[in-house]
Amino acid sequence: MTDNRVIVAGGGIGGLATALTLHQIGVPCVVFEAVRDMRPLGVGINLQPNAVRELYDLGFTPADLDGVGLPAKEWALVGLNGNDIYSEPRGGLAGYDWPQYAVHRGRFHMLLHDKVVERMGPGAVRLGHRVTGYDKTADGGVSARVEHADGSTSQETGALLIGADGIHSAIRAQMHPTQPPIHWGGAIMWRGTTWGKPIRSGASFVGLGTHRQRVVFYPISHPDPRNGLSMINWIAEVTMDNSEGWKQRGWFRQVPTSDFVHHFDDWIWDWLDVPAMIRGADSAFENPMIDRDPVPTWRDGPVVLMGDAAHAMYPTGSNGGSQAIVDARELGAAMVAHGVAEAALEAFDDKLCGPISQLILRNRGAGPFGLLNMVDERCGGTFDNIDDVIPPDERTAFMAGYKSAAGFAIEKLNTAPPTIPPGARIRSKAAAAV
Ligand SMILES: Cc1cc2nc3c(=O)[nH]c(=O)nc-3n(C[C@H](O)[C@H](O)[C@H](O)COP(=O)(O)OP(=O)(O)OC[C@H]3O[C@@H](n4cnc5c(N)ncnc54)[C@H](O)[C@@H]3O)c2cc1C
């Protein structure tokens, strides 16, 4: 007889948000995470208002999020001459009922982990447990194949299996054995953090350059009251010839900043010194900008994909982490409606797989950075007045189109009922079957 618990493969942002959601609605679950130690890895990510709303509904407080990041105030694109291309307020200043947070990915990840352990106990996340595949069981459940850090293996049974195992997902590889390899469009990113004085609003996301070479930076900590310095997250990006595919070993590695700073040697203005910002970091993470071609479904009977396993996408829209959180909540809502049953996974897949697959493809086309492409195409990136290059209405319409597709539309979000109503609990199996 299959265990009634839900098995979550992967304890990243998506897997841990799923565990917290399932616990909130009364569904027993266990998370199997491949790494042996949870460490605060990564640099900056953005939590969009739609995700912050879900975190608040999960009981996180503004103080929790202020401990790992800060509310973003502005999103701006700037030309190479320092002139504004586009800027807009973010979060509460834009009219959302919830803030947008720019956070340190690793610290936020640890915050989620601490909450899971606090609420569900230390056994809820099994570290050093890699899920290598699954088998459906005769009674409609699922058995996950698990490889342990000591080399031993086990079969773990559950009612459902959630594949939250990221872009290199083993669950997805089994579900879609003929899926194409990872897709790389030629952009390579170097990411790091440097202490510095925040510019503009004090909590501005700034993107400057062209679509072939650009820098993005934003603070991810409140300024230290002693010296006014914040941790500034930066991403330096260059597009190269990708005709021979990605040649480096591995997708993610730490490199010295001297490896790539020369691409930005002359990016120095009186308001910004890009080489100094890059050199201010001890080292950087190098990784190609990759995603995966969409698949027609995220579900195979009692197994479903979520987060990057379902929809790894270019980070141009700053919503990979946010969408993983929203997925977790939508899965929970589907279980509240349909029980811990395949029907819940079907409802989740029906609702999200199509639109989010569209977003993956849209982000390949540069996402909101498409405005930089337009400026580059129309005037080579240098201009005196942006209105002469892209009229204000066209800029606003471009951004509105992107945000609506990504689920950021202000009115829609503010008036939407909670994804999971307060106090909602799972129905009993018997009731769910009716
Ligand atoms: C180490 C790391 C650093 C990152 N740094 C950044 C960053 O700086 N900026 C940014 O924008 N995004 C970063 N990301 C990606 C970002 O966190 C994700 O795009 C987003 O949060 C979606 O989360 P996810 O939980 O779906 O996937 P992920 O965050 O990738 O989490 C997947 C989890 O599953 C685990 N796992 C993988 N395979 C298995 C398996 N077979 N069995 C069990 N567990 C498995 C992984 O160890 C990981 O903990 C990083 C991801 C990782 C893993």
Tokens representing 327 are 């997925």
Helix (H) or strand (E) holding 106: helix 105-120
What is the chain's length? Answer: 434
Pairing of strands 204-209, 213-219: antiparallel
Distance, CA of 344 to chain centre: 23
Q: Which residues contact 64 (CB under 8 A, 6 or more apart)?
A: 111
Distance, CA of 189 to chain centre: 16
For ligand 1, whether the C-beta of 192 sits within 6 Å is: no
Cβ neighbours around 56 below 10 Å, total: 17
Gap from CA of 37 to ligand 1 centroid (Å): 14
For ligand 1, whether the C-beta of 130 sits within 6 Å is: yes
Q: Side chain identity at 159, as an amino acid letter?
A: A
The whole-number pLDDT of residue 432 equals 45
Gap from CA of 187 to ligand 1 centroid (Å): 20
Pairing of strands 284-291, 183-196: antiparallel
Gap from CA of 166 to ligand 1 centroid (Å): 5
45: three-class secondary structure by DSSP: strand
17: three-class secondary structure by DSSP: helix
Spatial contact of 274 and 262, defined as CB atoms under 8 Å apart = no
| Residue to mutate (ligand 1; options 41, 103, 105, 126; most atoms within 8 A of CB) | 105
| Residue to mutate (ligand 1; options 18, 33, 167, 190; most atoms within 8 A of CB) | 33
Q: Which residues contact 349 (CB under 8 A, 6 or more apart)?
A: 297, 298, 299, 304
The whole-number pLDDT of residue 408 equals 66
Spatial contact of 305 and 169, defined as CB atoms under 8 Å apart = yes
The whole-number pLDDT of residue 406 equals 61
Q: Which residues pair with 251 in a beta bridge?
A: none
CA atoms within 13 A on the CB side of 93: 14
DSSP tag of 23:
H
For ligand 1, whether the C-beta of 11 sits within 6 Å is: yes
DSSP string spanning 223-255?
PPTTT--EEEEEEEEEE---TT---SSSS-EEE
CA-nearest residue for atom 14, ligand 1, is 42
Distance, CA of 279 to chain centre: 26
For ligand 1, whether the C-beta of 315 sits within 6 Å is: yes
Ligand 1 atom closest to 16 (CA): 25
The whole-number pLDDT of residue 366 equals 67
Q: Which residues pair with 236 in a beta bridge?
A: 190, 215
The whole-number pLDDT of residue 264 equals 95
- Burial letters for 141-174: b for 16+ Cβ neighbours within 10 Å, e otherwise? bbbbbbbeeeeeeeebbbbbbbbbbbbebbbbeb
Q: Side chain identity at 14, as an amino acid letter?
A: G
Give the predicted TM-score (pTM) of the model: 0.94
Gap from CA of 401 to ligand 1 centroid (Å): 28
Cβ neighbours around 122 below 10 Å, total: 9
Gap from CA of 52 to ligand 1 centroid (Å): 19
For ligand 1, whether the C-beta of 8 sits within 6 Å is: no
For ligand 1, whether the C-beta of 99 sits within 6 Å is: no
Residue with token string 């490889």: 147
CA-nearest residue for atom 20, ligand 1, is 321
Tokens representing 242 are 């990708």
| Residue to mutate (ligand 1; options 165, 231, 251, 303; most atoms within 8 A of CB) | 165
For ligand 1, whether the C-beta of 13 sits within 6 Å is: yes
d(CA 349, CA 355): 10
Tokens representing 377 are 């195409």
SS3 content of the chain, % helix, strand, coil (to 5): 35, 25, 35
The whole-number pLDDT of residue 277 equals 97
Gap from CA of 14 to ligand 1 centroid (Å): 8
| pLDDT per residue as tens, the chain (434 positions) | 556 899 999 999 999 999 999 999 999 999 999 999 999 998 999 999 999 999 999 999 999 999 999 999 999 998 887 888 999 999 999 999 999 999 999 999 999 999 999 999 999 999 999 999 999 999 999 999 999 999 999 999 999 999 999 999 999 999 999 999 999 888 999 999 999 999 999 999 999 987 788 999 999 999 999 999 999 999 999 998 877 777 766 778 899 999 999 999 999 998 899 999 999 998 899 999 999 999 999 999 999 999 999 999 988 777 899 999 999 999 999 999 999 999 999 999 999 999 999 889 888 876 777 888 888 889 887 888 999 999 999 998 888 877 776 666 788 899 999 999 999 999 765 444 43
* Alpha carbon separation from 325 to 112, 206, 362 (Å, rounded): 11, 24, 20
CA-nearest residue for atom 29, ligand 1, is 12
Gap from CA of 17 to ligand 1 centroid (Å): 13
Ligand 1 atom closest to 14 (CA): 25
For ligand 1, whether the C-beta of 172 sits within 6 Å is: no
For ligand 1, whether the C-beta of 15 sits within 6 Å is: yes
